[in-house]
Amino acid sequence: MKYLIILLILAIPYAYALTADFDCPDEVTQNVEFTCNLEIFDSEGVYDFKLDLQKNEENIAKLYDPDKSSFQSSFYYLKEFIEAGSEEDVRVIIEESGNLDGLIKLRKEGSTESFNFSIKVLKGEIIEEDNVNLDNSNDEDEETSSNNKKSSNAEGKDNTIKEEAGNFSSIVTGEAILLSDPKESNQELMENEKNLVYESKSSKVVKYLSYVFSLFLIFFVLLLIKKRV
């Protein structure tokens, strides 16, 4: 009886041995997202999921985390990702190429089950640095030419404004237009203003009164002379 109880205790874990089916495409491309289907049987509860895929002791895969709506390193578990007896799609990106071997890990309450898997990853397209530099140089040339056009347009506007301003003091001789220096024009105006004599109305009246008074005196003197005669 004692031995029977021991056998039953040892058999309990095998009665609930976890089975997992991880179905991925036969071939995938480096750095291109693909989808695998995960299904687990013969167990109960909800499991965390992790993809352990390494190269040179570095994780080279990313898993899409629905809770964060973004990809994260496969070093981290997707918590409470799948329930026993159900299936889920797993979105994966692998960053290296080659025939790769890894593990899928399912964790529940501190207990982890691991399953082997293999996948072939084709080398993805590599962007040539020369082409990138050429594109950048073309962009820089276009930007430089655009800036030159803007500066030339601005200079043209400035020249037009200067010409319009200079026309106020221009002298036309035949087909040529001679523009005088604004500083010299200002100096000439100042000299002309100095030469001008401004007379007020009162000063003009005083000036005329003196003439009238002089005429009156002359007339008065003539009258006196005439009476004496």
- Return the CATH number at 30: 2.60.40.2410
CA separation for the pair 168, 109 (Å, rounded): 94
Cα–Cα distance list, 125 to 26, 53, 91, 106, 120 (Å): 19, 21, 20, 33, 16
Supply the mean pLDDT for the chain: 74
Instruction: Report pTM.
Output: 0.50
**Residue 217, domain extent:** 197-228
- 168 and 213 in one domain? no
| Same domain membership, residue 107 and residue 10 | yes
| Residues 71 and 140 both lie in one domain | no
Q: Are residues 135 and 115 in the same domain?
A: no
- Into how many domains does the chain fold? 3
Residue 171's pLDDT is 40
Question: What are the C-alpha distances in Å from 210 to residues 34, 124, 150, 216?
Answer: 116, 113, 71, 10
Are 184 and 209 found together in one domain?
no
Return the pLDDT at 16: 52
Q: How far apart are the C-alpha atoms of 49 and 37, rounded to whole Å?
A: 12
Q: How far apart are CA 11 and CA 114, in angstroms?
A: 20
Based on the fold, state whether residues 90 and 156 are members of the same structural domain: no
The pairing of strands 111-122 and 27-29 is: parallel
Summarize the confidence of residues 53-64 as an average pLDDT. 94
